[in-house]
Structure 1
Amino acid sequence: MPAPPPAAPPPSATSAKTPLLELREVSRTHRSGVAEVHALRAVSLCVYPGELVAVMGPSGSGKSTLLTLAGGLDTASSGEVVIEGRDIAALSPKEMAALRRRSVGYVFQDYNLIPALTAAENIALPRELDGVSTRKARREAMAALAEMKLTEVASRFPDEMSGGQQQRVAIARALIGNRRLVLADEPTGALDSETGEAILALLRTRCQQGAAGVMVTHEPRHAAWADRVVFVRDGSIVDQTLHAGADSLLSGGTEAVQ
């Protein structure tokens, strides 16, 4: 089983870099009848190239909301979401779609595979939509499946695969191409322990190659793969390195990083 990486260097080590993802005082408010529900409250967060950040917190605390806003799948009520130096609120729908195809890989908790496409076709689709030839996109898809040790499902449709296989196909789709921002919502939720650790190692490697990663997880042992942990409670976050260990985060023994 792969060993988790060492704890992250202090924040000063990344201060000279430009964030690949930046949330600036981002809030998200939903209406429920006449009441307002504050899913996120003025959250600020920077994620740098080469860094994997874990997001933890109780159910309903805003973890998934943070991730969908970071990927441009939802719109902030206030504040700014900046990807690769671009305020995504200023992008047209066409520009935002292109940014997601080229730069953002998103692993959905419910997989979000297209039922009418095979595993290889699901993985290749973002590349084909971005103008890559079908032959090249399928070749890249097969390489991604091989990396997941999943080539035997290339021609299967989602309903012909197990939940764990669908999860790995979804991860392969998120990593194909040169996506510089990888967002994963419980990426190991449907996987056995050994396969889950292998997927975390793969995410970690992609970050070491220059991507920025944000991973929602409820497992301290999975968060131990990250450079930093963002703990979300009632829509607000506490940012911390892993020097103290993820277990201390859950027990309330956090040390905020300003």
Structure 2
Amino acid sequence: MTAVLRLERVTRVHGSGATEVTALHEVGFAAYAGELVAVMGPSGSGKSTLLTLAGGLDTPTSGVVRVEGTDLAALGQKGRAAMRRTSVGYVFQDFNLIPALTAVENVALPRELDGAGSRSARKDALAALEEVGIADLARRFPDEMSGGQQQRIAIARAIVGERRLILADEPTGALDSETGEDILRLIRSRCDAGAAGVLVTHEARHAAWADRVVFLRDGVVVDESGADGADVLLERSR
């Protein structure tokens, strides 16, 4: 299998002196084409930091983050932004929707910024909204929707177009159980079609959708197992 995402001895330190915090320490991690990896661990273990580095939203203090073999730090800020628009789909915990844009405009934006025509971008956006079950809300603005509906817009934006890597930070947090399962099934299907996926979750039942579970504690990978070991790993964290 080809490693779509690879972290090589990655360390991320925030602050300095008395306020210094090591969010990740020499972490090695990979996600392969066709694979969904769940990342679990207690609060403050470094899960979200791993995702922000993988998505090029932050750079490591030391070590290398590669997406499809490319060192993200070497791309520069503009290059990383371009990669996120074309290859990396990111589902944020707080949605990060643009209030002044409708649902379909929020989803189409990455495609338009990458040079797609507005008609083509809108068609792709409507298809993504259909996949997450809210195509009928395409013309509504985020503040006219519930938290769960906004989360589905964020997920549609993450999967629109051809995404080789999907990063999801607690993507079902604002959704009811049935809708949450539908979203996990959708992410799983994208991975089965050839994308690599990384799912941050604290729920063992959500981790069961993954091929592997990686467990973080205090910024270090402390264990790894198949998805059927998620309950065991979660129990060890308590």
Shorter-chain TM-score tier: over 0.9
Which residue of structure 2 lines up, in the alignment, with residue 148 of structure 1? 132
1:103 counterpart = 2:93 = no
Q: Secondary structure at the match of 1:34?
A: helix
2:78 corresponds, among 64, 76, 94, to 94
Which residue of structure 2 lines up, in the alignment, with residue 10 of structure 1? none
Cα distance, 1:149 vs. partner? 1.3
The answer to whether the 8 Å contact 2:211/2:227 transfers is: no
The answer to whether the 8 Å contact 1:228/1:239 transfers is: no
Give me the whole-angstrom Cα distance separating, in 2, the residues matched to 1:141 and 1:198: 18
**Structure 1 residues 119 and 244: alpha-carbon distance in aligned structure 2, compared to 1, 3 A threshold:** closer
**C-alpha offsets along residues 43-82 of structure 1, whole Å, 9 cap, x if unaligned?**
0011100000001111111110011011110110000000
TM-score (norm 2): 0.96
Give me the whole-angstrom Cα distance separating, in 1, the residues matched to 2:94 and 2:9: 28
Gaps in structure 1 of 5+ consecutive residues = 1-16, 254-258
1:207-226 alignment to 2 at 5 Å?
A: 207-226=191-210
2:28 corresponds, among 38, 44, 51, to 44
1:62 counterpart = 2:39 = no
Gaps in structure 2 of 5+ consecutive residues = none
One-letter amino acid of the structure 2 residue matched with residue 61 of structure 1: S
Cα distance, 1:244 vs. partner? 4.6
Provide the aligned length of Structure 1 versus Structure 2.
237
TM-score (norm 1): 0.89
**C-alpha offsets along residues 16-38 of structure 1, whole Å, 9 cap, x if unaligned?**
x2210000000000116633211
Which residue of structure 1 lines up, in the alignment, with residue 115 of structure 2? 131
Which residue of structure 2 lines up, in the alignment, with residue 112 of structure 1? 96
* Alignment root-mean-square deviation, CA: 1.3
Give me the whole-angstrom Cα distance separating, in 1, the residues matched to 2:159 and 2:99: 20
Q: Secondary structure at the match of 1:251?
A: helix
- Percent identical among aligned pairs is 68
Give me the whole-angstrom Cα distance separating, in 2, the residues matched to 1:252 and 1:244: 14
1:75 counterpart = 2:44 = no
The answer to whether the 8 Å contact 1:20/1:49 transfers is: yes
Give me the whole-angstrom Cα distance separating, in 2, the residues matched to 1:157 and 1:208: 32
Give me the whole-angstrom Cα distance separating, in 1, the residues matched to 2:72 and 2:226: 30
Which residue of structure 2 lines up, in the alignment, with residue 206 of structure 1? 190
Which residue of structure 2 lines up, in the alignment, with residue 158 of structure 1? 142
